[in-house]
Amino acid sequence: MRTPAHQSGLDPLTGDQSDVFGPELGEFPDADQRRAQASTDEGMKTGTTTVGINAGDAVVLATDMRASMGNMVSSKDVQKVEQIHPTGALTIAGSVSAAQSLIETLKAESNLFGVRRGKQMSMQALSTLTGNLLRSGAFYIVSPILGGVDDTGPHVYSIDALGGTTEEQYAVSGSGSQFALGVLEQEFEDDMGVEAAKTVATKCIKSAMERDTASGNGINIAVVTEDGVDITNEKDIDSLL
C-alpha cells in the first residue's frame, strides 16, 4: 500500500518535500519566523544585567530592576528573579511577556512533577526542561540564569535564548553582562560564602548600571539554599556595599 501524500511529508499537489523533516517534535509552527519577529519586536523588554554565583552551599542570584520599551524606561520596579521550584529560582533577560510565560510554565511543571513523583525535580532536570521550552520556539527571546540547590549541592546554569545549557560556577546574562563579567572574573573565589557572594553580585550589578543604559533602578537579590528561596529588593545599591 502506498503511503498517503499528506502523511509522508509530501505536498499532495506538487510533491514538495521541503518540510519533510520539520517541524521537529515539540516545535511550534513557524518557529523561525517567530524568532525573527521577536528580534525586532518593540514590546517591553528587560535589557538587563543578571548574575548567578555558586556560593558553596547556596546560590546567589542578582539582577537590576529596569525594564525598557525601545529607548524609553517603561518600568523602574521590575522583579527579574522569581522562584520556580522549592529550592530553585530563575533570572530573566529579554522579552517580559515571554519571560513571564516561561516562569509560570516552569512553576506548573515543577509542581506537577512533585505531585506525580512524590519528590522534587533535580536542578539538572529543571535546566533541561528550561532549555527544551526555549528550544521549542514558544518563549522568544529570553536568556535566563537558573540557580538552585538539590541533593547533589548548589548549581548555576547559564541558558541561552535558543536553549543551550551549561553549568557554571558563575554566570551573567543581559545587555550589561560584559561590564558585570569583568568584575565577576576579578572578584570570584571558589570558597566564597553567601555574604561574600552577595557583595560581589552587588558590585557586578552596580558596574553594569553605570555603563549600560538598559540596566538600573535598584537590585534584586535571591539567596537559594536547601531551605528555600529568599528574594529581597533594594533601591539604594550603595547601601549594600
Supply the residues annotated as catalytic.
48
3-class secondary structure, 3: coil
- Contact call for residues 8 and 17 (beta carbons, < 8 A): no
Q: Is 65 exposed, middle or buried (0-12, 13-18, 19+ CB in 10 A)?
A: buried
Block residue for cell numbers 552577595: 198
Q: Report d(CA 184, CA 197) in Å as an integer.
A: 10
Give the whole-angstrom CA distance, residue 114 versus residue 121: 7
| 158, HSE (Cβ side, Cα atoms, 13 Å) | 15
Q: At what angle do helices 96-117 and 123-135 cross, to 10 degrees?
A: 140
The sheet with strand 88-91 has its strands ordered as: 81-85, 88-91, 145-150, 153-159, 165-168
- Is the Cβ–Cβ distance between 68 and 96 less than 8 Å? no
